Amino acid sequence: MLGFAAAFVGYFSIMVDFGTQTVGSREIAKDRSNMESVVGSVISYRSMTCGLGFTVYCVVVALLKEPILVKVVLFISGLSVFTIPFNLDFVFIGVEKMGFVATRVFGSSVLTLIGVFLLVHNLADVWIAAGIPVFSNFLNTAWLFRYYLKRIGRVRILIDFKALKHLLLQSWPVGLSALMISVYYNMDTVMLGFMRSKEEVGLYTAAYKIIYLVALFQSAVNQSIFPTLSRLWESNREKLRLMVETSMDMMLLVSAVVTIGVFDLSGLVIRLAFGSHFGLSSNVLRVLIFTMSFVYNETVTAPLLYATGRQKRHLIAVSLGALTNTLLNFLLIPQYGMFGAAAATIAAEVVVFTMLYIYARRIVASSGFWALRAAVLYSLVLCVTVVLPSLLISTILLVGIITIGLFAFRKFMNQFTAIRTVVS
C-alpha cells in the first residue's frame, strides 16, 4: 500500500517541480550573481503549481475505487508536495555544496526510520507510516531553507512573468523527461497494483527499495558533476571531454561491482533488509539489478545533455524508454507479474542508455571504444557467473573488480580535483 502511494504521489510531485531543480541549479552554476532572482522565480513558479497539483491530486484520489484506508494513506502521502516550493536543493547543487543536500536527505531518512520504529506496530498503523516521511521531510526542508536565509541569500517572491516564462521554456523538457523517467520507474508498481495482488506489489517494492538504495551513489555523482559540466561547457571543452571520459570509465567499473555483488548476494540482502517473508523478492532483485548496469553508465551522459542545453534530446531518449516500458508492462504483467515488470524496466533502460550514449558522442567525441569495453567486460563477467556460479568464484571476481575500481576511483578523483581547481 505504501509503495503504491509513493509511486502515485511521484507523478504529481513532478508536476509541481517540472524541471525547475535542474534548470535552477544550472543557471546558478553558470552565474552565481543571479542567484536571488533564480530562487525567487523557482519558488514563485512552484508555489503556483503546488496548489494546482494538490487539488488535482485530491480529486483523482477521491475518484479512485479503493478502500477508505487506501485513500487516507494516499491523501497523507500527497501532503509531501507542499515541501517542494521551499526545497532549495537546487541552490546548493548549483554552488557545489552537495553536502548540505546529503545532510537533508540523510536526516529525513533517519527521522523516518526512528519514527517507524517507535510509532508503527501493526497494519492498522499504516496511515502513521505514511505520515512519518512527510513530517520528517517538512522538518529537514525547513532546516535547509533557514540555513539559506541566514548564510547565503534572501528570498524575494516576485511575480515576474518574463522571468517565469523564461524558466518555463527552459524547464518544460526537463519536467517532461522526469515524468517519462517516473513512468518506467513507477508505472510498473502502479500497474501491478491494478492488475495483480497487493502482496505482489509489496514483494516487488521491497526489491525496488534495494535498487533505489544502490542508485544513491549514481545520483550523488550525477548531481556532483552537473554544475561543473555546465561551467566547463562555457570555459574549457577539452577539460569537459577529459571529465566525461574519466567519469564514464569509473562508473563502468562501479556498475560492474554493484551489479555482480547484488546479483550474487540478493538472497542475503533481502533477508537482512525485510526478513524471510520477502524471500521471493530476491529473485526479482536478481533481475532488476541489471538496470544499474545501464543507469550507472548514464551518470555522465544525462547531465551532459542538460549542461549543454540539449534537454530536448534527453526528453526524446526517455520518452522512447517510457513507451517501451509501458507497452511491455501491458504485455508482460498479466502473465508474468512482477518478473514481467522487471523485464520491462530493463528493456526501457537499454533504449535510454543507447540513445543517451549516441547523443553524448555527438557532443564529446571519445578517444576510446568505451561502449565496446563495457560490452566485453559484462560479457566476461556474466559468463563466469553463470558457468561457475559458486560463491568462491563470485567472491574472487568481485574482489578483483573492486580492486580495479578503487584505482580507477583514485585516478578519477585526482583528475576531478585538478579540473575543479582550474575552473574555480
> Which range among 57-61, 236-240, 412-416 shows the weakest confidence by mean pLDDT?
412-416
> Which range among 50-54, 366-370, 406-410 shows the weakest confidence by mean pLDDT?
366-370
**89-94 average pLDDT score:** 84
**82-87 average pLDDT score:** 88
Together in a domain, 181 and 97: yes
The residue that leads in pLDDT, 154 or 56, is 56
The residue that leads in pLDDT, 402 or 315, is 315
Together in a domain, 211 and 150: no
CB 229 within 8 A of CB 240: yes
Confidence of residue 337 (pLDDT cuts 50, 70, 90): confident
**200-222 average pLDDT score:** 82
Give dist(CA 73, CA 5) in Å, integer.
7
CB 304 within 8 A of CB 229: yes
Cα 251 to Cα 90, 136, 197, 222, 371: the distances in Å are: 24, 32, 37, 11, 12
Query: Distance from first CA to last CA of the chain, Å, rounded?
Result: 47
pTM: 0.72
Other Cβ atoms within 10 Å of 34 Cβ, number: 12
**Residue 409: pLDDT over 60:** no
Cα 217 to Cα 205, 222, 422: the distances in Å are: 20, 9, 25
**14-28 average pLDDT score:** 84
CB 356 within 8 A of CB 302: yes
**What are the backbone dihedrals phi and psi of residue 227, each rounded to the nearest 5 degrees, phi first?**
-65, -35
Q: Which of 177, 194, 211 marks a domain boundary? A: 194
**Residue 54: pLDDT over 80:** yes
Together in a domain, 230 and 288: yes
The C-alpha angle with vertex 304 and arms to 301 and 305, in degrees rounded to 5, equals 90
> Which range among 89-93, 266-270, 419-423 shows the weakest confidence by mean pLDDT?
419-423
Together in a domain, 189 and 314: no
Together in a domain, 181 and 230: no
Together in a domain, 106 and 200: no
The pLDDT assigned to 367 comes to: 46
Q: Which of 146, 173, 194 marks a domain boundary? A: 194
**Residue 145: pLDDT over 50:** yes
- 340-353 pLDDT, tens digit per residue, is 888 888 888 888 98
**Residue 158: pLDDT over 70:** no
- 229-241 pLDDT, tens digit per residue, is 887 887 777 778 8
Place of cell 505514511: 130
Together in a domain, 304 and 389: yes
**Residue 260: pLDDT over 90:** no
Q: Which residue segment(s) compose the domain that 49 sits in?
A: 1-194
Mean pLDDT (the chain, rounded): 78
Give dist(CA 335, CA 368) in Å, integer.
43
The pLDDT assigned to 316 comes to: 93
**381-387 average pLDDT score:** 51
The pLDDT assigned to 369 comes to: 44
The pLDDT assigned to 319 comes to: 92
The pLDDT assigned to 422 comes to: 46
**411-424 average pLDDT score:** 53
Q: Which of 145, 164, 194 marks a domain boundary? A: 194
The residue that leads in pLDDT, 410 or 104, is 104
Together in a domain, 2 and 97: yes
Tally of structural domains, the chain: 2
Together in a domain, 157 and 261: no
Together in a domain, 330 and 273: yes
**348-370 average pLDDT score:** 77
Together in a domain, 277 and 258: yes
**Residue 410: pLDDT over 50:** yes
Give dist(CA 56, CA 65) in Å, integer.
16
Give dist(CA 116, CA 73) in Å, integer.
15
Together in a domain, 174 and 254: no
